[in-house]
Amino acid sequence: MNIDELKQKLDGVEGVASFMLDTKTDVKLKGGKKNPLQDRVQKQVKNAEVLIYHKYNGNGYEELVKEQMLKEGKDPSEFVLKPRAWGKRIENTPFVEHNEKYYLECIFVKSGNSEYLVDGEVYNEDDIEGLPEKKVSDNSQGGIESKIVIRTFAVDSILNIEMKEVA
């Protein structure tokens, strides 16, 4: 997908909306060039449910973290949002620009179905040496138990995105 196609899909969204997202991303493996699968592995995710904030004059991520802190009996004033580690957020959009490339920032609701591909073929995750470890931090997000998962995808890694029907 390209940035113009993605902007068209988001046209008409004001505030927050739920989307179903399919992606295919390259996976950096541990072990550098010695790893025989380096630069050959991709992760494909289908039907991930995400929230996207568009034409929104706030920070949805920060608001969700503070809301969750309240639900868990914690003081939301203790949460301080840190600046982005990379890229420049394009105001009032879910887009980030970095090194002349565009990314979509979204919040995961449900992770969807994932599989790993090696040279385009489905591969058993347990047979891929050097997959990155999943990071878990107890101190992040004001110490909340139910974490708000934010992800930023390169626009060209998005295979499909459709607004979720409201029940």
Report which of 129, 148, 130, 132 is spatially closest to residue 140, judged by C-alpha positions. Answer: 148
Q: What percent of the chain has pLDDT over 70?
A: 94
Residue 30's pLDDT is what?
A: 94
Distance, C-alpha 75 to centroid of its chain: 26
Residue 148's pLDDT is what?
A: 85
Give, in order, the Cα–Cα distances in Å from 56 to each of 7, 42, 99, 110, 119: 15, 32, 24, 22, 40
Q: Model pTM?
A: 0.85
Residue 2's pLDDT is what?
A: 94
Give the separation between CA 83 and CA 90, rounded to whole angstroms. Answer: 14
80-91 tens-digit pLDDT: 888 889 999 998
- Whether residue 138 is predicted with pLDDT greater than 80 in this model: the reply is no
- Whether residue 137 is predicted with pLDDT greater than 60 in this model: the reply is no
